Amino acid sequence: MTTNTADAIIVGGGLAGLAAAAELGDRGKKVIVLDQEPEQFLGGQAFWSLGGLFMVDTPEQRRMGIKDNADLALRDWMGSAQFDRPEDAWPRKWAEAYVEFAAGEMRPWLHDMGLRWFPVVGWAERGGSYANGHGNSVPRFHITWGTGPGVIEHFVRRVREHASNGLIDLRFRHQASHIIMQNGAASGVSGEVLSDDGADRGQKTNRDEVGEFEVYAPSVIVTSGGIGGNFELVRKSWPRDRLGEPPQEMVAGVPFHVDGRMIAISEKAGGHVINGDRMWHYTEGVKNWDPIWPSHGIRILPGPSSMWFDATGNRLEPPCLPGFDTLTTLKEILKTGYEYSWFVLTQKVIKKEFALSGSEQNPDFTSAKWSEVIRQRILSGKNATAPVEAFKEKGEDFVVANTLGDLVRGMNQLGGNLIDEDHLRAQIEARDAQMDNPFTKDAQIMAIHAARNYRGDRLIRTAKPHKFLDPSNGPLIAVKLHILTRKTLGGLQTNLDSQMLGADGQVVPGLFAAGEVAGFGGGGYHGYNALEGTFLGGCIFSGRNAGRSRAIA
């Protein structure tokens, strides 16, 4: 296909766009896919992910002794979402539809496509409050073999097959700047052709314009992603009423091209953004010692054992425990008047509990080879995985010491002499005193014992409880943690066919949105909190809905 007309135009070649394009190709539709980045960026932000998917009542769960069902998952979702606005009507419908999908067709459909999953299901966002509040009651985070690349490769394959058959036209370095509307209906997209760029995937590319373009179709699907790479937009959207002022210093968990520019363009065409103040930023970010994109940060995916302190050395109170309640922890950290916090842990904890977000930080899972997983995670002796050990050695946010005094001196060099050694020691000694019995009054120790009741955590994710100040468990490690930008939870409002809705609640003819730009469905199907695995899952689900939409004739 070499013409400038098609049945549908997709703006954005990430996972949601690929899912929509693949489904449209299956229907015999002609599709033009526009992406401002080079061809080597195909798949977008999903490439860099760990490949986790939120699924319910799967064979992987059942083999690990996990009893899950759609009713429990929906209870968890609604307790986390805390929908409280009139405009949450469509997000709520999307949430209900996604949980039904995740408990039913999702896994067999993806399995038939070729996806496979690591047998140990992860337990993310554990909550730590009441049963009707935020968090996953059971483990649901299914890591795809091959991580993010292992997710997108099957959608890329389907799209390229359709491209080879003349149905899909992939146009890279095409930056959309205007949605063409005629008589209130979408009819095309115009923008600029950008200069070629040989940058490696994820790096910042040029915005040099070398031409213009116009393409036409009766259906325009926007799948351009969120705002996490654009600190200016993040700060503009920051919920000051709930979280206070945004951090002056943040690290970016997503590449530069996650810039949010299509949001305003879609609004100008008649789309309507809701819940723009709902975002999902992590509290466990570290500066990448080998950065790919500007301000590149990596999230630590922690097990439950690291002690968490604020910038002045005061232990955070539950539910601010590692891996339990991201949004509450973010709020508590910012309330201190500082923009960072600290993990304090031991080598035994980092060995078993530290994982780093991203496909490039998990080469064993990305390789999809059991031999690599065993070599990295079981046969490595006292060491953590090679990427984690590299951060421990080279990362500017890591302090390693044999004594607490030396550890505190290193922390104070990084943090401005805010930590009092005696105060920190007293808190760690109090925690260590709980190690002599199988019972405890310390909420974090209770959580560790509960985690080890789960076979998966006991095997590979949660260290056996031990005394941090016992030298045999060392060395001691401290990690300075930054706020890391990641996800937009609100977005363009859509119905279940992924059609954009205007401010009046009516369909904007010919306009569609899917993925993060649509809040992963409806304009924010997470509500205020995410349960993890729901970002890739939401891109797949909403992109699939767009591609199957009855409104695309």
In the three-class reduction of DSSP (H, G, I as helix; E, B as strand; rest coil), residue 284 is classed as: strand
The residue assigned the tokens 């925690």 is: 431
Task: Output the pTM of the full model.
Answer: 0.97
Domain with CATH 3.90.700.10 in the chain: 285-484
Instruction: Say how far apart CA 32 and CA 29 lie, in whole Å.
Output: 10
- Number of helices (H), then strands (E), in the chain: 19, 21
* Check whether domain 285-484 has CATH 3.30.465.10, yes or no: no
A 10 A CB-CB count for 85 gives 12
Q: Give the H or E element holding residue 507.
A: strand 507-513
Q: Where in the chain is the domain with CATH 3.50.50.60?
A: 8-225+489-548
Q: Compute φ and ψ for 230, nearest 5 degrees.
A: -115, 90
For 313-454, list the strands marked E by DSSP.
Answer: 340-346, 355-356, 398-401
Q: Alpha carbon 268 to chain centroid distance? A: 28
One-letter amino acid identity for 5?
Answer: T
At what angle are helices 15-26 and 534-547 packed, to 10 degrees?
Answer: 30
Protein fold of 8-225+489-548: FAD/NAD(P)-binding domain (3.50.50)
Residues 108-117: contacts with CB under 8 Å, at least 24 apart: 110/53, 110/154, 110/540, 113/154, 113/158, 114/154, 115/144, 115/145, 115/150, 115/151, 115/154, 116/144, 116/145, 116/150, 116/368, 117/53, 117/58, 117/60, 117/142, 117/143, 117/144, 117/145
- In Å, how far are 126, 155, 466 from 436, measured between CA atoms? 26, 52, 9
The residues facing 188 across adjacent strands are: 180, 216
Q: What is the DSSP string of 178-230?
A: EEEEETTEEEEEEEEEEPP--PPTTS-----EEEEEEEE-S-EEE----STT-
- DSSP helix, strand, coil percent of the chain (3-state; round to 5): 35, 20, 40
| Model pLDDT, residue 2 | 64
Q: pLDDT 10s per residue in the chain (553 long)?
A: 568 999 999 999 999 999 999 999 999 999 999 999 999 999 999 999 999 999 999 999 999 999 999 999 999 999 999 999 999 999 999 999 999 999 999 999 999 999 999 999 999 999 988 999 999 999 999 999 999 999 999 999 999 999 999 999 999 999 999 999 999 999 999 999 999 999 999 999 999 999 999 999 999 999 999 999 999 999 999 999 999 999 999 999 999 999 999 999 999 999 999 999 999 999 999 999 999 999 999 999 999 999 999 999 999 999 999 999 999 999 999 999 999 999 999 999 999 999 999 999 999 999 988 889 888 888 888 999 999 999 999 999 999 999 999 999 999 999 989 999 999 999 999 999 999 999 999 999 999 999 999 999 999 999 999 999 999 999 999 999 999 999 999 999 999 999 999 999 999 999 999 999 999 999 999 999 999 999 999 999 999 999 999 999 8
DSSP output for 338-350:
-SEEEEEEEHHHH
